[in-house]
Amino acid sequence: MVERSLSATPFHWFGLLAVAFAAVVADQVTKQIVVSQLELGESVHVVGPLEIRHVTNPGIAFGLFSSWATAVTILTAAAVGWMLFYFARSGARHPVLPVALGLLVGGSLSNLLDRLRLGHVTDFLDLRFWPAFNLADAFIVVGVALLLAALVSAERQPRHRRTAPKTTG
């Protein structure tokens, strides 16, 4: 039995890089719009519980580890490196992997750029019942969900078709 290679091909890499690039651009553009239009702490009601509120976060999710900015930066860079290494070895494992890891890498890189450039991340999507977040955070969450779904579906054993018994006659 011949096994196919699971390594990422140029086509897979193009998909991952295109998604990651789009995620970085979308996140950086929306953050720049918020910074240029709203003062820090200012908000604008959009609809229902959604507000656009300009806040900064030196830590990670929910402001955790805000005093560990250097460690967060190093861990984020290491996580991006690990994701790219994993993708190089397993990018052809499932057709959704370039999108899932593209969202994860793009979101992580965009927030990493902010930490390196500004020392904090700009958050602006505020649902009032949840801490404010940005598009990069949303891309990371969606990427993780897609990645888990892809990994679970790739590990399932293929179903064997039942065939009708052959009749002799």
Sheet with strand 121-126: strands edge to edge: 43-47, 50-57, 121-126
Type of residue at 80: V
CA–CA dist 39, 79 (Å, integer): 32
Catalytic one of 27, 114, 123, 126: 123
| Unique residue bearing structure tokens 């030196």 | 58
Catalytic residue among 27, 114, 126, 137: 137
Dihedral Cα 22, 25, 30, 31, nearest 10 deg: 130
Active-site annotation holds for 126: no
Per-residue DSSP letters for 41-88?
Answer: T-EEEEETTEEEEEEEESSSGGGTTTT-HHHHHHHHHHHHHHHHHHHH
- Structure-token pair, residue 84: 């790219």
Residue 114 falls in the annotated catalytic set: no
Q: List beta partners, residue 45.
A: 51
| Catalytic site positions | 123, 137
